[in-house]
Amino acid sequence: MRRNATLVLAALLAASVTAAAARAAGVTVNTVIAGGTTLTVAALNSPSFPDTLTGDDQVASYQAQLQVVDARGLASGGGWNLTITSTQYSDGAGHTLPADASTITSVATGCHSGSTCAVPGNNAANTNVALPISPTSTKILNASSGSGLGRIDVAVNVNVGIPANTIAATYSSTITVAIAAGP
């Protein structure tokens, strides 16, 4: 009798599970993720550097921190490129540093915190490149097709040559970084 009760109970449980499975339904969820129009570059800092004349030629360094946002979501990865130009260092009173004083020593990239990006597949020559004086510009970074999507931090390291015969003053230069679609 106990055996029959166990068999009946097992049969009822199987029927219950089968009935529950028969009542289940699959739900398909669809979404459309639209690409944005954002392709921008912005400065994250205002670099400066001190220097004290010693009677010898010197080299000082700074890092320009930038952020590129490519939220276009292009299936082809569209790509983009950064170009840079600068003004000549001047104190505003007629004293300048040489036009070729600034040299880009390296350009590094990484995903911004909180962004799952596709780090740029860069093939631009960006080591030991003279920082050109405006209006001339040079390409320092590019995202090849299929890379560069998301929010990307860019660090541009620059050396500035200061000749021994420089007049002591406060000098300034403006660098301009532009972004364009396409590698």
**Mean pLDDT throughout 63-67?**
96
- Residue 140: inside a domain, yes or no? yes
Lowest-confidence pick of 21-30, 133-142, 146-155, 161-170: 21-30
Q: Quote the domain boundaries for residue 130.
A: 39-181
- Residue 14: inside a domain, yes or no? no
The distance from CA 183 to its chain's CA centroid, rounded to whole angstroms, is: 14
Task: Look up residue 78 and give its DSSP letter.
Answer: -
Distance CA(77)–CA(143), nearest Å, equals 9
- Residue 155: inside a domain, yes or no? yes
pLDDT band at 24; cut points 50, 70, 90: confident
- Residue 32: inside a domain, yes or no? no
Coil, helix or strand at residue 25: coil
- Residue 7: inside a domain, yes or no? no
Q: Is the pTM of this model over 0.85?
A: no
pLDDT band at 131; cut points 50, 70, 90: confident
Q: What is the mean pLDDT of the chain?
A: 86
**Mean pLDDT throughout 133-148?**
89
pLDDT band at 9; cut points 50, 70, 90: very low
**Mean pLDDT throughout 59-82?**
89
Lowest-confidence pick of 95-109, 139-153, 154-168: 139-153
Which range has highest mean pLDDT (3-12, 76-85, 125-134, 162-171)? 162-171
Looking at the 3D structure of the chain, how many domains does it have? 1
Distance CA(19)–CA(176), nearest Å, equals 69
- Of 95, 92, 169, 179, the closest CA to residue 141 belongs to 179
Any idea how long the chain is?
183
The residues near 100 (Cβ < 8 Å, ≥ 6 apart) are: 130, 161
User: What is the structure's pLDDT at 127?
Assistant: 78
Contact 36, 71 (CB under 8 A): yes
* 103: CATH: 2.60.40
- Residue 137: inside a domain, yes or no? yes
- For residue 165, count other CB atoms closer than 10 A to its CB: 8
DSSP alpha helix (H) spans, the chain? 2-23
User: What is the structure's pLDDT at 7?
Assistant: 47
pLDDT band at 63; cut points 50, 70, 90: very high
- Residue 33: inside a domain, yes or no? no
User: What is the structure's pLDDT at 178?
Assistant: 95
